[in-house]
Structure 1
Amino acid sequence: MAIQRVLHIVGKMDRAGAETMLMNLYRHMDHNQIQFDFITFTDEVGDYDAEIKALGGRIIPILASHSLTRMLKLKRFLKQHPDYQIVHAHMLLNNAFHLLAAKSAGVPHRISHSHSTSNGKTNIVKKIYEQWALITNRTLATKRISCGDYAANYLFGTTKEVWLLPNAVDIQKMMTVANQSRHYIDQEFGAKGFGDKGLKIIQAGRLNEVKNHQFSLEVAEQLKKRQIDFTLYIVGQGPLAARLKQQVKDKSLCSNVKFLGLRTDITELMASADYMIMPSLHEGFPVVLVESQTVGLTALVSDQVSPEVDLGLGLVQFLPIHSAKEWVDCLLKPKNIRPNEKEITEALNLYGFSAVTNAQKLTQMYLNMK
């Protein structure tokens, strides 16, 4: 039987939410049946590129500074490679351009996948573009997929005829790593003069406006004013890195806030932290919140994040992002008892977060498109 190759459209295969979700599924697929190839819009090496190639996938860069030029180049590529019968787009509103290219090139199966509940744009020109992109997505997609109801309603205006594919994780692998890593932060960073005492707080995500690190620094300031012994570990990279680091210096928080950059040990860090914080301005269904609940970590989350992220384990608390004091008060309260592995596994399976199961479902969906 010939291998079905699926062309995924992403910006770059870095350790971000949608990309991590894709890799969690890709690793568990039968690569004698399904292979993933990836269109990227950069010639920079992505975090997952080497692993993708090792699994038999291809990275195909399309370089252009404008969305219209990218669309024309993608159309040309698809016409030159008619073996790609399935295009699976993951770039929210920009999916509109990719679906147009695929439609124009005669690709019969065009998947638009929603990973967010907002585009975060407010000016009139961008609002007009948003409306065009939403209509185009809804018109040209032959299959609609979403990480949750809220993300589906944003991109497609409905949950009807939308396949909900939760952002799954490798449950057993994560639990095994977590059980071996309860003192990881102390062991990893203790010798460097931090990580060996006090409250350990982690924030994982790209350093951009949406993740609202500015608010996290307000929380850190409040903790310091109350003379709380703590360390905030900020994991990730992004365009605001330099500004945030300067703000940490200006606020005299250098001994309390540590920038760890990109990491491959997120599970270990979460397993040994006391809290995760996510004061995001908006989110879809963040993979990292599935991961945090898998390892039993309590997360304080912005009330702008979809309530779907709470899997009923008592590990997610929603808070407003207008009051750092409320967040500090919650960080200092006694935590709920951590659920046991059986309870966590049952919840993750109930809500459809098994990467193994979802990889099988996705494989069958692709095979049915032949």
Structure 2
Amino acid sequence: MMRILHVVGKMDRAGAETMVMNLYRHIDRTQIQFDFITFTSAIGDYDAEILELGGKIIPILANNPVNRMLKLRQFLKKNPEYRIVHAHMLLSNAFHLLAAKTAGVKHRISHSHSTSNGHTNAIKKIYEQWALITNRQVATYKIACGELAAQYLFGTSKNVLLLPNAVDIKKMMTVAKISHDYIDQEFNDSTLNILQVGRLSEVKNHQFSLKIAEQLEKRNIDFTLYIVGQGSLESGLKQQVRDKLLADHVKFLGVRTDITELMASADYMIMPSIHEGFPVVLVESQTVGLKSLVSNNVSAEVDLGVGLVDFLSIDSTDAWVDRLLTSGHSISTDDEILDVLKSNGFDAATNAQQLLHVYLSL
């Protein structure tokens, strides 16, 4: 059995990590096993499942990227059985793949999950340029979730495997069919139900979401905004909700395992992000037939053509509020959505087979 070493920050329920888990669940584990380098001693949301599936979680603790790189290099030298290192941390892949190269690892995969790192000041721009150049030089195999993500990290999509952020389509659709009243039953709530899923960080633009909530409240709309996720901005956002007297309308749900059920019973999902790659949560929302309002800073690739994604500017909240007050139901049938998802490469089982072939061919 071949063991693949994935380099992640922490295996929480975030976009890239969820994508990796979708592939891990479907890959032939009699031939391939996944192990995970993390950079924290804290327990990740997926850690228990990883251990159940036979994987290992190897924490490397260091206070800066250079020390992490040196410790990863030392680990790889002591564990030469890892012939393939698969890195998922965008610009930081440069450090991790350098560690792999200097440790003698022959196959080094850089995986791009985003179209930007969001940094704009001069020092960070210098780091970005170094990291982009280094990634392109030290990666022996390149994967991206979409065309724009490939362009960002590798400068081209040529010789890059485009592996869309796939989901377990049939399982999600089966759960969704019996979950249309889930929010009403779980929260005793039959208002306009709006969902936002993602880590509580600046790039996800929850400040804009709270402005939407303020506008809806001023219009005397009976609504609830469910914010799913955790992150560094959580306490500040909760304080803003209290200050704005929105506690009856905005609910923080933390990390959840019932995302499919929430999506199947919501009226809309919103994603006013400052930037994104190809977020798996938008594949999930379209799978269950949920209409999404998405920032026009997000790659147009996320619209799978089933009438479920509307792009709006984040310059003003008015258009968002107006759109939320219209119908959010899908105009496509389940069979039509299934056909589109499969034909465009969003089936996790199919993509796991493709990734298995890549690993075995190296």
TM over 0.5: yes
2:164 corresponds to 1:171: no
Secondary structure, aligned partner of 1:27: helix
Partner of 1:56: 54
Q: Structure 1 residue aligned with 2:91, among 86, 90, 93?
A: 93
2:200 matched residue in structure 1: 207
Match of 1:23 in 2: 21
**Cα distance, 1:289 vs. partner?**
0.2
Q: What secondary structure does 2:26 align onto?
A: coil
CA contact (8 A) 1:314 1:336 kept: no
> Residues 1-370 of structure 1 correspond to what in structure 2 (within 5 A)?
3-190=1-188, 195=189, 197-335=190-328, 337-369=330-362
Measured against aligned partners, the alpha-carbon deviations of 1:279-307 in whole angstroms (never above 9, x if no partner) come to 00000000000000000000000000000
TM-score w.r.t. length of structure 1: 0.97
- C-alpha distance in 2 between matches for 1:302 and 1:335: 17
Deviation at 1:175, TM superposition (A): 0.4
Deviation at 1:336, TM superposition (A): 5.2
Say whether the 8 Å CA contact 2:290–2:328 is kept in structure 1: no
* Aligned-partner SS, 1:207: coil
- Cα pair distance change 1:289/1:337, threshold 3 Å: closer
Q: How many angstroms does 1:180 deviate by?
A: 1.0
What is the identity percentage for the equivalent residue pairs of Structure 1 and Structure 2? Answer: 70
**Equivalent position SS for 1:259:** strand
Rounded to whole Å, the distance in 2 between the matches of 1:5 and 1:202 is 38
By how many angstroms is 1:338 displaced? 3.5
Post-superposition shift, 1:340? Answer: 1.2
Give ranges in structure 1 of 5+ residues lacking alignment.
Answer: none
Indicate the SS of the match to 1:281.
Answer: coil
For 2:181 and 2:255, locate their aligned partners in 1 and report how far apart those are by CA, in whole Å: 20
Cα distance in structure 2, aligned partners of 1:29 and 1:296: 27
Amino acid aligned to 1:149: E
Q: 8 Å contact 1:10–1:41 — kept in the other structure?
A: yes
1-side partners of 2:187 and 2:243: how far apart? 24
Measure, in 1, the Cα distance between the counterparts of 2:328 and 2:243.
32
My pick for the range that moved more, 243-252 or 290-299, is: 243-252
Matched residues, number: 362
Alpha-carbon shift at residue 337 of structure 1 (Å): 4.2
Kindly provide the CA deviation profile for residues 202-223 of structure 1, in whole angstroms up to 9, marking residues without a partner as x.
0000000000000000001111
